Amino acid sequence: MLELQNISYGVEQDGEDKNILRNINLTIGERFVAITGPNGGGKSTLAKVIAGILVPTEGKILLDGEDITGLGVTERAKKGISFAFQQPVRFKGLTVKDLITLASGKSIGVPEACDYLSEVGLCAKDYIDREVDASLSGGELKRIEIAMIMARGTKLSVFDEPEAGIDLWSFSNLIQVFEHLHEKINGSILIISHQERILNIADRIIVLADGRVQNDGARAQVLPQLLGNVPSVCSALTDKVR
Amino acid sequence: MDAIERSLLEQVAELHEVPEGAYNIRANGKAAARNTTASIDIVSKTDKDGIDIIIRPGTKNQSVHIPVVLSQSGLQETVYNDFFIGDDCDITIVAGCGIHNCGVQNSEHSGIHSFFVGKNAKVRYVERHYGEGDGLGENIMNPTTVVEMGEGSYMEMETTQIKGVDSTVRTTRAKLGPNSTLIIKEKVMTHGKQLAKSDFTVDLDGEGCHTNVISRSVARDDSKQIFLARINGNAKCHGHSECDAIIMDRGVVVAIPEVTANCVDVELIHEAAIGKIAGEQLTKLMTLGLTEKEAEEQIVNGFLK
């Protein structure tokens, strides 16, 4: 159970204070929670605050009742928080097996690595010894990133826009991975996404805009509102379309 | 051979026991052990220190080990080893030098290795350098490699220097015949106040020949590295050099690529990238539960693997 109490995060920009997160209060314990909202609304910042990459300017973060606000990235990872990057990182020399081994925290053999990789649609034989460098495509990197989160199997897994940077075909296959992810992870999944198909498999949807929680509730309640609330487009554009 | 010498041998040649196949083990300036086979002969030079390694044409899937260990402080030597590799051979050569210096005097080994690679021969040459010892004397190694490659031959040269060598100047000169290929992979890690200089010159003389000179290095503490890759394209050929370096602490890396096209059909490329470990790489590994120091070690080990 993750609790965010009065979380705010601000930066100084051009000599002025800019608030990216404003007084966020959330309790997350469901199986699958999606956070959505417009670009620049603070979603990725919130994910980084949870993972410990950014330190909130105000507020408290509790994991299973324990205050983890003062803990760094490593300590939070050890307490059971996993974080999948929006842009997976490339490493010259480290192989897929190296990263999955580090993620699982123990020495693993080919069959175990194969278990994780096959779950994300990669054949271990082709990938296990490959370096996680520029030779891998964006879609492959995303899958490896997800396999690492599976190998960790922690109580909370945060995914920052898994659809970002990959083509529609690759994403379509990834959806199936997310549909079965909670069975593999046995913990809460918090996923930041703009994709309706991801929102469609969430138990709960939180809408974050302008650094605030704008809407929060069960999927059945929030999703129809989101789909019905298409922002108005400028008249010059609609005239052209007509 | 004593425990220190055996340990050095393990570091430079991954040898736990006497190797199979042909070998020549040199310890503290003297030949310690030698074995020849029906197709690989090893003969001591009479005019200077060193050996001739003669590999008969057509020798396949065999190996030659020629490690050198120095455990007497203050020993300084220059050794000439010439490899005559016959046509159509397919062999692995493992050389290396390990120095254990507990004294106050400098220990120095300069190995001059010349390779004459026959037509269509395939050679894998592995060279490891390692130094240890808590004395004030420095461990110095200055290897020189000279390669002459026959038509259609292939040579892969892997050189590794990970620890304990205070000063090294590595000089490599190669001349490539028609359709021959030379791949050089260098891995260097320096620390303390060490200096490592690599000076490669590859002459692409034969039509259709190819070279790739790849260096991956890490410079820590106050150490300095200089990487100089000089490729001369003298015929229709392809040449590529690449220096990829991580700098840490106050480490310095200088990459000097020099490519010369003396023929209009030459294709030459050089690349160099030097920088510290990317912050996002550290963060990623920390989200897996590693401390910053552990993450750094994993990244460096992977980079030099």
pTM of the model: 0.85
| Contacts A152 to B, Cβ<8 Å | 288-289
Angstrom distance (rounded) from CA B279 to CA B281: 5
Predicted local distance difference test score (pLDDT) of residue B14: 65
Burial class (CB in 10 A: 0-12, 13-18, 19+), B102: middle
Predicted local distance difference test score (pLDDT) of residue B15: 59
The residue with greater pLDDT, B52 or A181, is: B52
Predicted local distance difference test score (pLDDT) of residue A241: 52
| Contacts B288 to A, Cβ<8 Å | 77, 99, 102-103, 105, 148, 152
Distance to chain B for A230, nearest Cα, Å: 36
CB contact under 8 A, A93 and B287: no
Q: Is the dihedral of CA B298, B302, B304, B305 positive or negative?
A: positive
Beta pairing class for B50-55 and B40-44:
antiparallel
CB contact under 8 A, B244 and A72: no
Predicted local distance difference test score (pLDDT) of residue A242: 52
Which tokens in the block code for residue B53? 């390694």
Asked if B291 has any chain A CB less than 8 Å from its own CB, the reply is yes
Which tokens in the block code for residue A197? 């198909």
Predicted local distance difference test score (pLDDT) of residue A239: 63
DSSP category for residue A154? -
Asked if A71 has any chain B CB less than 8 Å from its own CB, the reply is no
φ and ψ at A62, to 5 degrees? Answer: -120, 135
Angstrom distance (rounded) from CA B91 to CA B37: 13
Size of interface A-B (CB pairs under 8 A): 59
φ and ψ at B124, to 5 degrees? Answer: -115, 120
| Contacts B291 to A, Cβ<8 Å | 74
Predicted local distance difference test score (pLDDT) of residue A227: 84
Predicted local distance difference test score (pLDDT) of residue A177: 84
Give me the mean pLDDT over the A119-138 stretch.
90
Residues 225-264 of B with CB under 8 A from A: 244
Predicted local distance difference test score (pLDDT) of residue A4: 97
When scoring A44, A75, A92, A145 by the number of chain B Cβ atoms within 10 A, the one with the most, hence best to mutate, is A92
Predicted local distance difference test score (pLDDT) of residue A155: 93
Reply yes or no on whether the pLDDT at A231 is more than 60.
Answer: no
Angstrom distance (rounded) from CA B176 to CA B211: 9
Contact by Cβ (8 Å): A191, A198: yes
Contact by Cβ (8 Å): A113, A128: yes
| Contacts A72 to B, Cβ<8 Å | 286
Which tokens in the block code for residue B181? 């290929």
CB contact under 8 A, A105 and B289: yes
Asked if B277 has any chain A CB less than 8 Å from its own CB, the reply is no
Contact by Cβ (8 Å): B210, B184: no
Predicted local distance difference test score (pLDDT) of residue A63: 97
Predicted local distance difference test score (pLDDT) of residue A132: 95
The pLDDT > 70 percentage for chain A reads 94
Is the complex ipTM higher than 0.85? yes
Predicted local distance difference test score (pLDDT) of residue B240: 98
Q: How confident is the model at residue A175 (pLDDT cuts 50, 70, 90)?
A: confident
Q: What is the pLDDT of residues A37-75, one digit of tens each?
A: 999 999 999 999 999 999 999 999 999 999 999 999 999
| Contacts A85 to B, Cβ<8 Å | 280, 284
DSSP category for residue B86? P
Please give the C-alpha separations between residue A217 and each of A2, A30, A180, A202, B160, in angstroms, as whole numbers: 16, 11, 22, 11, 59
CB contact under 8 A, B287 and A73: yes
Output b/e per residue, A7-30; b: 16+ Cβ within 10 A. Answer: bbbeeeeeeeeebbbbebebebee
* List of chain B residues with pLDDT < 50: none
